[in-house]
Amino acid sequence: MTREGIDRFPQQFFIRHANEPGMKRSLGARTVAYPLPVFLVGTYDSQHRPDVMAAAWGGICSSDPPGIAVSIRPSRYTHKNLIETKVFTISIPSVDQMAETDFFGIVSGADTDKFTKTGLTPVRAEHVDAPYVEECPVVLECRVTNTVEIGSHTQFIGEILDVKCDESVLGADGKPDIALLKAIGYDPIRMEYFVTGTVVGKAFSVGNKYRT
Ligand SMILES: Cc1cc2nc3c(=O)[nH]c(=O)nc-3n(C[C@H](O)[C@H](O)[C@H](O)COP(=O)(O)O)c2cc1C
């Protein structure tokens, strides 16, 4: 810490130190965030064969236009497909597709027809020439608007052109019900899947008690 930094922020630096007993333990510089999603990125290859891969490095990145980003290594077949077609789908799996999702993340579409192997159904999306997984309850149709090279991965940013949802996971109010969805997430340290579904509070509301 420079003398200048200490003078500008004296309290932050001297109240407590992160490595003191009882403080947080460093786990090092790692790819950790909670909760992480598990997306299934669907693309066609140059022969129009459907491929789908698991991706946990992703999330919503823009409200207007609605956007989602996924980071994909150049070694993935999906990466090649995305560079060529510039469109993709995101299928959001529920716990019912957990084993298939994992399989989609451990074999490559370069040498395996993942849909035939698992028995899941590829469906061509309505707004883009890319396949989604019929059995997944929620599907996003996207076109690539930007790519960003970030170290080991290319981040593909997609404009979301449509979201499709199974009737069976809609609540009485016509909106997706997280308890019915049972979407799976990924724990990047333990390398385990978890299921989402418990509502604990109303957003943009429970924090209001700290106003005044
Ligand atoms: C839970 C999980 C999450 C993954 N997340 C990513 C990711 O975000 N980016 C990536 O490049 N690979 C990720 N992978 C690895 C790819 O899914 C895997 O390499 C897959 O075989 C690529 O398929 P493809 O060659 O057909 O594109 C993940 C795998 C698993 C199991």
Q: How confident is the model at residue 17 (pLDDT cuts 50, 70, 90)?
A: low
Q: What is the CATH number of the domain that holds 49?
A: 2.30.110.10
pLDDT at 18: 61
Distance separating alpha carbons of residues 95 and 160, to the nearest angstrom: 24
In terms of Cβ atoms closer than 10 Å to its own Cβ (0-12, 13-18, 19+), residue 155 is middle
- Quote the ligand 1 centre to 187 CA distance (angstroms): 14
Distance separating alpha carbons of residues 101 and 95, to the nearest angstrom: 9
pLDDT exceeds 60 at position 35: yes
Q: Is residue 132 part of a domain?
A: yes
* Ligand 1 neighbour 108 (Cβ under 6 A): yes
- Quote the ligand 1 centre to 56 CA distance (angstroms): 8
Q: Is residue 163 part of a domain?
A: yes
Q: How confident is the model at residue 4 (pLDDT cuts 50, 70, 90)?
A: low
Q: Is residue 2 part of a domain?
A: no
User: Which residue has the CA at smallest separation from atom 10 of ligand 1?
Assistant: 72
Q: Is residue 204 part of a domain?
A: no
Number of domains in the chain: 1
pLDDT exceeds 90 at position 22: no
Q: How confident is the model at residue 212 (pLDDT cuts 50, 70, 90)?
A: confident
- Quote the ligand 1 centre to 147 CA distance (angstroms): 18
Across the range 187-191, mean pLDDT stands at 97
Q: Is residue 23 part of a domain?
A: no
Q: Is residue 207 part of a domain?
A: no
* Ligand 1 neighbour 112 (Cβ under 6 A): no
pLDDT at 171: 96
Across the range 100-125, mean pLDDT stands at 98
pLDDT exceeds 70 at position 8: no
pLDDT exceeds 90 at position 3: no
pLDDT at 12: 52
* Ligand 1 neighbour 53 (Cβ under 6 A): yes
Average predicted confidence (pLDDT) for the chain: 93
Report which ligand 1 atom has the smallest distance to the Cα of 73. 11
Q: Is residue 50 part of a domain?
A: yes
Domain of residue 98 covers 30-195
pLDDT tens digit sequence for 53-72: 999 999 999 999 999 999 99
Across the range 18-27, mean pLDDT stands at 81
Q: What percent of the chain has pLDDT over 90?
A: 89
Q: Is residue 133 part of a domain?
A: yes
